[in-house]
Amino acid sequence: MVDRQTEKNLAEILGILQEHPGGLSISDIATLFPMNRNSVSKYLAILQRQGSVDMRLVGAAKIYCPTRRLPVAAVRRFCSPNLIVVDHNLEVLEVSDTLAGILRTTPEALTSRPVSVLFSGTSSDDVASLLRRALWGEEGTFRWRPGSRRGAASFRFSLIPTVLETGRPAVSLVMDKVPEGSGPGEERLLEALRQEALREDRAEGIVRVSPDGRTRWADEVYSRVAGKSGDDLVGRQFRPSLVEGERAAWQKFVRGLTPDNPSATTDCRMVMPDGSTRCYRWRGRALCGPEGEILEYQYICSDIHGFRVLEESLRRQQQALEQEANSRAAALRESEERFRAIFEESPAGMAICGMDGAVVRVNRALLEILGVLDLDGIEGKNVFAGLQIPAEVPACLLGGKTARFTIPYSRKNYHHSSCCDMSDDPEMICLESVASPVLSGEGGVPSGFVLQLCNVTGQKKVEAVIKEAESRYRNLFETLAEGVIYLGDDGRIIDANPAAERILGYSLSDMQGRTESELRWRFIGEDGTGYPGYLLPHMATLATGIPERKTLGIFNPREGGYRWLDLLTVPRFRPGEENPFQVITIFCDITGQREVEAARAESEKRYRILTESLPDVVFLLDPDGRLLYVNSSGARMLHRPREDILGKSLPDLFPGGQGADYRRNVASVAATGTIKNNVSRLPLPDGEVWYDMRLIPVRADDGTCRYVMGVARDITASKRAEETLRIDTLPGL
């Protein structure tokens, strides 16, 4: 089956051929139909297989024209019981069982035999002539009677021009049994039909003209060419409808018909009834009487438009070929000049050598690479002996194959007193080499080879440095405690280090080439709710090209729980590009840190509940005596809201010198790092209160005092009881 575009192209090419029934070449069709020659050839092959197009050879050119042939498959479909198919060699390709039975043989016995042996009793020459005409597209019939006995059944064979699946012409012979009642009347009718068909199909027109130039008679062919009936033409001046520029040549042609020169031929262009222009060939003859007088002119015209189109096409093709040959010659000269320039100016060393290894020609770069000062130092020498060329290279060149190899070389190899000083760089260098055979035109046998040498010593050193750096990077990548993942611009994972495998709970083989959605990773935000994949940091970095940092939890399938990660995504850009081509995701496992922070928060919560529930005053001071925390008992003691007293110094809270004493005590505890107890009397708005106070230093990791914690207990009642007891025990009371 073919697609719609192919059907459209086939129809357009067939339409072009129908407009040019004389035939067109592939180049002509490619010119009329905007398509390259290869495509036109492909579509013509399809049309041939379909039986829509015929091809004939005119010299070296293939000319294609519409055909009336039927595909052999269609003939088989409708006529298979009574069918013989004959190829272009007039040999039987296939025969039906029915016909083979009439001949008292089998289809296999008749296949590939000349078709003439099948029709005994009928003139072989007549049958062969009809078959050849059918091969050229002309239908025909003949009658055949098997055996010679009187009263035997008679058969009629219709010859149908056919095209095979391969595109080759063939003839299908379809058999019909002639009814017994048919006789001479039918034969006369058939002959009349044949004559009528001959008149209709004849391509040459005939006109007879009187000596005074009036038309005496015109056949139907010329009448069709002129677009008039024979009655309209007879009796009128014979004036073919010529193109304006052809009339002078026509007059010369007519005047040239004389008794001494009774026949002539001319080609001219004529205007057809539909307004188109076609080329015709006219053959004129003067019919003369016994005395040499001209009795009549007879003109025969034939359509040569197709041949003219073909000639023009061939002329254009010849011009194109000549132009192409000239272009190729110029291109060859230019190529030679380019090769010479490339050879001389190439940074790579180049040498042209014979198959025995003898150096024929070298460029300057090769002399510099080998450390040779002039051509005498190398030309004529054997490169196989001077260079450590692998032993398999000559055999490879003899086989017509290119050899690539790398060899070490010391510049001392070509040293001699006339061309190289021993002080010149004698270091061992590395040469990357290519030996390419030069094939001759006869049998493709190598006549020599071109040796190219490139000093890659520096490149090898750089590669070694890069390899070492890559090794160090890989070691670092593999041993990092942090997880590292490389992602492409499509979000697919390219690489991951072992730490990433351990933290995420997936192997590299499981992750490589897949996205997070394909892996079905489960993320949660810091609030513990699910986190959508399209908001992940690497997706934002790919979209914006800006680094992103985020704290997320990810489910580890190996451990069956979530790990908390501190993620950082970093974009990678190619030079000159605005969008990242990769994203590096670096993440730390902060699960333990989160657990410590949670434990600390829980501890602080318990401490705060404890201190808030105590009746004693609990407070926290910095070493300078500034209040950082006080519980609710302390706020009630001072009769002030907590937010009004936090951050204030002790002299601000307790004016009149008492606050300064308190600050000195705090500074002493912070400096000495020892616990200090004291009992003090504190005047408050609701009266005087006694407190038993303890100051405790809180140390930092470096041993210095970070805070001073205080606990004050109200001992006013105890003090008053002591005072009462003391008064009661005084003498005289």
Q: Is the pLDDT score of 67 beyond 60?
A: yes
Domains of the chain: 4-66 (1.10.10.10), 70-182 (3.30.450.20), 202-303 (3.30.450.20), 346-451 (3.30.450.20), 480-596 (3.30.450.20), 614-725 (3.30.450.20)
Q: How far apart are CA 508 and CA 485, in angstroms?
A: 10
In single-letter form, the type of residue at position 171 comes to: V
Among 524-528, 531-535, 582-586, 669-673, top mean pLDDT goes to 582-586
Token pair in block for residue 206:
């005939």
Closest by Cα among 468, 397, 480 to 433 = 397
622 falls in which pLDDT band (50, 70, 90)? very high
688-694, long-range: CB < 8 A, 24+ apart = 688/716, 689/637, 689/714, 689/716, 690/714, 690/715, 690/716, 690/718, 690/719, 691/617, 691/715
198 falls in which pLDDT band (50, 70, 90)? low
**Residue 460, phi then psi, degrees to nearest 5:** -65, -40
> How many Å is the Cα radius of gyration of the chain?
56
Mean pLDDT, residues 156-176: 83
pLDDT 10s digits, 24-64: 888 888 888 888 888 888 888 888 766 677 777 776 678 88
Q: Percent of the chain having pLDDT more than 70?
A: 90
Q: Is the pLDDT score of 276 beyond 80?
A: yes
Q: Is 407 exposed, middle or buried (0-12, 13-18, 19+ CB in 10 A)?
A: middle
**Residue 429, phi then psi, degrees to nearest 5:** -120, 165
Q: Is the pLDDT score of 195 beyond 60?
A: no
Among 65-74, 197-206, 350-359, 436-445, top mean pLDDT goes to 350-359
Return the pLDDT at 140: 81
Q: How far apart are CA 124 and CA 211, in angstroms?
A: 47
Closest by Cα among 390, 370, 389 to 379 = 370
Return the pLDDT at 424: 44
Q: Percent of the chain having pLDDT more than 90?
A: 22
64 neighbors 31 (Cβ within 8 angstroms):
no
**Residue 704, phi then psi, degrees to nearest 5:** -80, 160
Length of the chain: 733
Mean pLDDT of the chain: 83
Close Cβ partners of 599 (under 8 Å, ≥ 6 residues apart):
none
Return the pLDDT at 184: 53
Q: Is the pLDDT score of 505 beyond 70?
A: yes
In single-letter form, the type of residue at position 10 comes to: L
Q: Is the pLDDT score of 525 beyond 80?
A: yes
Question: How many distinct helices (H) and strands (E) make up the chain?
Answer: 26, 29
Angle, CA 542 vertex, CA 539 and CA 547 arms, to 5° = 90
pLDDT 10s digits, 100-157: 887 788 888 888 888 887 776 566 567 888 888 787 777 788 887 766 545 556 778 8
pLDDT 10s digits, 554-604: 998 888 888 999 999 999 999 999 999 999 999 998 888 888 888 888 888
The larger pLDDT score, comparing residue 268 to residue 306, is at 268
419 falls in which pLDDT band (50, 70, 90)? very low
Q: How far apart are CA 269 and CA 280, in angstroms?
A: 6
Q: How far apart are CA 92 and CA 118, in angstroms?
A: 10
418 falls in which pLDDT band (50, 70, 90)? very low
Q: Is the pLDDT score of 488 beyond 70?
A: yes
Mean pLDDT, residues 431-442: 84
Q: Quote the pTM value.
A: 0.37
Q: How far apart are CA 536 and CA 548, in angstroms?
A: 9
Mean pLDDT, residues 159-174: 83
3-state SS, one letter per residue, for 203-253:
CEEEEEECCCCEEEEECHHHHHHHCCCHHHHCCCECCCCECHHHHHHHHHH
664-668, long-range: CB < 8 A, 24+ apart = 665/695, 666/621, 666/623, 666/625, 666/695, 666/708, 667/623, 667/624, 667/625
Return the pLDDT at 68: 65
Q: Is the pLDDT score of 89 beyond 80?
A: yes
Closest by Cα among 391, 427, 429 to 407 = 429
Q: Is the pLDDT score of 373 beyond 80?
A: no
Q: Is the pLDDT score of 244 beyond 50?
A: yes
Q: How far apart are CA 10 and CA 12, in angstroms?
A: 6
Q: Is 57 exposed, middle or buried (0-12, 13-18, 19+ CB in 10 A)?
A: exposed
Return the pLDDT at 27: 86
